[in-house]
Amino acid sequence: MRTATPGAHLLANYARAPVTIVRGEGCELIDTEGTRYLDFLAGIAVCALGHAHPAITEAVATQAATLVHCSNIFNHEPAGTLADQLAARSGFDRVFFCNSGTEATEAAIKLARKLAFRKGESQRRTIVSCTGSFHGRTLGALAATANAKYHEGFEPLPGGFSFTAFNDVAALDAAIDDTVAAFIVEPVQGESGVKPADPAFLAAARRLCSERGALLIFDEIQCGMGRLGSLFAFQHFGIRPDVVTLAKALANGLPIGAMLVDESAASGLQPGDHGTTFGGSPVPCAAALAHLRFRDEHDLDAHVAEVGEVLRAGLGKLAGQLPNVFAPPRGIGMMLGLPVREPFKAKTFADAALLEEHLILNAAGDNTLRIVPPLVLSVGEAQDGLERLHRICAAHSTPNGGK
Ligand SMILES: Cc1ncc(COP(=O)(O)O)c(C=O)c1O
- Kindly tell me if the per-residue pLDDT of 1 is higher than 60: no
Selecting among 40, 96, 195, 219, the annotated active-site residue is 219
Active site residue 344: no
pLDDT in tens, 311-338: 999 999 999 999 999 999 999 999 999 9
The vertex-81 CA angle with 75 and 82, nearest 5°, equals 105
The closest-lying atom of ligand 1 relative to the alpha carbon of residue 190 is 16
Q: How far apart are CA 218 and CA 351, in angstroms?
A: 32
Overall average pLDDT of the 333-353 stretch = 97
190 Cβ inside 6 Å of ligand 1 = yes
pLDDT at position 255 over 90 = yes
pTM: 0.97
Cβ–ligand 1 distance for 135 under 6 Å, the answer: yes
59-80: per-residue pLDDT in tens? 999 999 999 999 999 999 999 9
How many other CB atoms are found less than 10 A from the CB of residue 159?
A: 9
Whole-number Å distance, alpha carbon 152 to ligand 1 midpoint, is: 18
Q: Taking residues 184-211, report their average pLDDT.
A: 98
Nearest CA to ligand 1 atom 10: 101
3-class state of residue 164 by DSSP:
strand
Cβ of 388 below 6 Å from ligand 1: no
Q: How far is the centre of ligand 1, averaged over its atoms, from the C-alpha of 119 (Å)?
A: 30
pLDDT category at 5 given cuts 50, 70, 90 is low
Task: Kindly state if the Cβ of 140 falls inside 6 Å of ligand 1.
Answer: no
Q: How confident is the model at residue 366 (pLDDT cuts 50, 70, 90)?
A: confident
Q: Which of 39, 97, 183, 248 is catalytic?
A: 248
Residue 106 Cβ inside 6 Å of ligand 1? The answer reads: no
> Ligand 1 centroid vs 224 CA: distance in angstroms?
11
Kindly tell me if the per-residue pLDDT of 402 is higher than 80: no
Helices 282-297 and 77-90 pack at an angle, to 10 degrees, of: 40
Amino acid at 274: H
Q: Is the pLDDT of residue 201 over 50?
A: yes
Mutating to test ligand 1, I would choose from 105, 109, 134 the residue with most ligand atoms within 8 A of its C-beta, which is: 134
Over range 166-177, report the average pLDDT: 98
Give helix 346-357 / helix 379-396 axis angle, nearest 10°: 120
83 Rama sector, left if φ>0, alpha if ψ -120 to 50, beta otherwise: alpha
Is the bond preceding residue 343 a cis peptide, omega within 30 degrees?
yes
Q: How far apart are the first and last CA of the chain?
A: 23
Does residue 263 contact residue 91 with C-beta atoms inside 8 Å?
A: no
Q: What residue's CA is closest to ligand 1, atom 8?
A: 101
